[in-house]
Amino acid sequence: MIYTLYGELFEVDQAAGFAVIECGGVGYKLTVSANTLSRLPSPVYTASGDVRRGSDPVRVYTYLAVREDDVELFGFISKDELEAFKMLIAVSGIGPKAAMSILSLYTPDALYSAILAEDTKGISRAPGIGGKTAARVVLELRDKVAKLSPAASLAEGRDSAAPTVNVSAGNLSDARDALLVLGYSRGEIMNALRGADPQKPTEQIIRDALAVLMKQ
């Protein structure tokens, strides 16, 4: 199985959602998400319209989807995006195209935050994803996402046997750190935590902040 490709970027088609990477004289066409496309460099062309050789190489992770009537190679700018893709296609009714549609709307961390917040409305904004499909994504992946990291478990607020101790400003600091791990910028977090009650448990502060972030 092809796990990664490392070579020169030969062609990018934003509208069709694919990129071609040339490795050892062979051009591999990869279906990619909008997030991956935004992080790939643009090919450099000569005056004659040919791709200039010697461009900086790129590396992408790959997934080969084999169907009865087609074979398609998918590309991902990071291992995190590849793992999110694998999680999505494990959901009943979600194929590779639908998974790429969701990953074009969300980065992996933002997707996990949406799942933990049970934001089916946000997920359903991805082209081709309806409300019922978004609900299945949340239902089938919520527990898996909650186990990915301590921060995710905090955001989910599940399986916490230890009693919560209010530590005032310390709770806000812990909530901020957890939101940073989930992929939000410091500016987004500051806005989401503005007016937060520092006497609330950390888990509740995180849930409140996620509710604000999902509306932005």
User: Could you tell me the end-to-end alpha-carbon distance of the chain, in angstroms, rounded to an integer?
Assistant: 40
Cα separation, 59 vs 189, whole angstroms? 31
Phi, psi of 166 (to 5 degrees): -75, 130
Tens digit of pLDDT for each residue in 18-30?
Answer: 999 999 889 999 9
Q: Is residue 99 exposed (0-12), middle (13-18) or buried (19+ Cβ within 10 Å)?
A: buried
Query: Is residue 76 within 8 Å of residue 60, measured between CB atoms?
Result: yes
Cα separation, 202 vs 210, whole angstroms? 12
Cα separation, 26 vs 12, whole angstroms? 16
- With a pLDDT cut of 70, the percent of the chain lying above it is 82
User: Which of 1.25.10, 3.40.190, 2.40.160, 1.10.8 is the CATH number of 162-215?
Assistant: 1.10.8
List every span in the chain annotated with CATH 1.10.150.20.
78-148
Predicted pLDDT at 156: 45
Task: Out of 88-102, 133-147, 174-188, give the one with best mean pLDDT.
Answer: 88-102
Cα separation, 1 vs 59, whole angstroms? 16
DSSP bridge pairs for 28: 21
Tens digit of pLDDT for each residue in 149-196?
Answer: 544 444 444 443 333 333 345 677 777 877 776 777 777 887 788 778
Task: Out of 53-57, 113-117, 154-158, 209-213, give the one with best mean pLDDT.
Answer: 113-117
Rounded mean pLDDT of the chain? 82
Predicted pLDDT at 150: 45
Q: Which residue has the higher pLDDT, 154 or 139?
A: 139
SS3 content of the chain, % helix, strand, coil (to 5): 45, 20, 35
Report the topology of domain 1-77: OB fold (Dihydrolipoamide Acetyltransferase, E2P) (2.40.50)
Report the topology of domain 78-148: DNA polymerase; domain 1 (1.10.150)
